[in-house]
Amino acid sequence: MNASVIGGGSWGSAFAHHLGRNGIRTKLWIREPDIFEAAVRERENPVFLSGFKFPTEVTFHHALGDAARSADIIFLAVPSQFCRKVLLRLAPYLIAGQSVVSLTKGIEKKTLLRMSEVMAEVFGPLASPRIGVLSGPSFSREVAQGHPTALVLASTDLRWARKAQHLLSSPALRVYTSRDLVGVEIAGALKNVIAIAAGINDSLQFGDNARAALMTRGLAEITRLGVKLGAKKETFLGLAGIGDLVLTCTGRLSRNRHVGAELGKGRSLSSIIAGMRMVAEGIATTLSARRLAFREGVEMPIFEQVYQILYHKKEPGKALADLMSRTLKGE
């Protein structure tokens, strides 16, 4: 079995580590020349995943075609706003029988398409690979360390998903299967917005009660939108839903929670972004989620307040007051 991971960020690098430990020959495509050269020289990603030597099964590639050729399964680990551009470059190299799995948690800003929809749209005219999505609570460093992790692999082709489940699972990483592509992708993308709110909450010391309320009511908003888009309600109670939400809202390694915490300290969004080389998907997803909510007629008050804080510099205390003074209703 040969695999390729497209994207040399923290998650792509960590997943290549996992595949290599599983004995799978893996090509890792790294776009940035400095990181590629360091990986070849040191067998480590010093920028996004320092301290971890890649298994010998992992090789490094700067040319996308070289990385994609001969791969039975390709994993896409590129920030959502760059996915289409990379997929258009990748499409000519696909051949019959390949599978492409998205590791990206985001929504395309211009089209509001999920990553599996973008893949289907781009690949359709040239090839028809099996498409899947792998999501769930998974900090990159902990996966690279081999700490116990559970994920969910979603695909409309459940027979293939079960084969891939056995390929990807190990004593340190357990994979479940699902047919609910919509639910898994919406849950994985939108939880990042609630993590920003949780970071603001923690920085302002609003307390554990407030964080628990944000997470619970945030999940209710995500579920409402997901179900309206065709997802199954129970998906949001699983790994891709509440599992990933809990991790991202409480874990110290969460990039999106970090953004919220820095906003709570009074820093501007532009200065926070300027100091980060890794992408916090929740910033762009806030815009996409708001547009989806308006399109679908779904009320999402927490998302609206995060949008106001991020893009209109609303004072977080005022945002909380507006949430707490909304018309009372049943749960």
Q: How far apart are the C-alpha atoms of 246 and 79, rounded to whole Å? A: 21
Q: How far apart are the C-alpha atoms of 83 and 106, rounded to whole Å? A: 10
* CB neighbour class for 324 (10 Å; exposed up to 12, middle 13-18, buried from 19): exposed
Q: Kindly name the residue from 27, 85, 163, 191 that is annotated as catalytic.
A: 191
SS3 assignment, position 173: strand
Helix locations, 95-207, DSSP H? 115-123, 140-145, 158-168, 181-203
Q: At what angle do helices 115-123 and 80-90 cross, to 10 degrees?
A: 20
Write out the DSSP string of 1-63. -EEEEE--SHHHHHHHHHHHHTT-EEEEE--SHHHHHHHHHHSSBTTTBTT-PPPTTEEEESS
Q: How far apart are the C-alpha atoms of 14 and 8, rounded to whole Å? A: 9
- Which residues make beta-bridge pairs with 49? 45
Active site residue 53: no
Locate tokens 């990379």: which residue?
86
Catalytic residue numbers, as ranges: 191
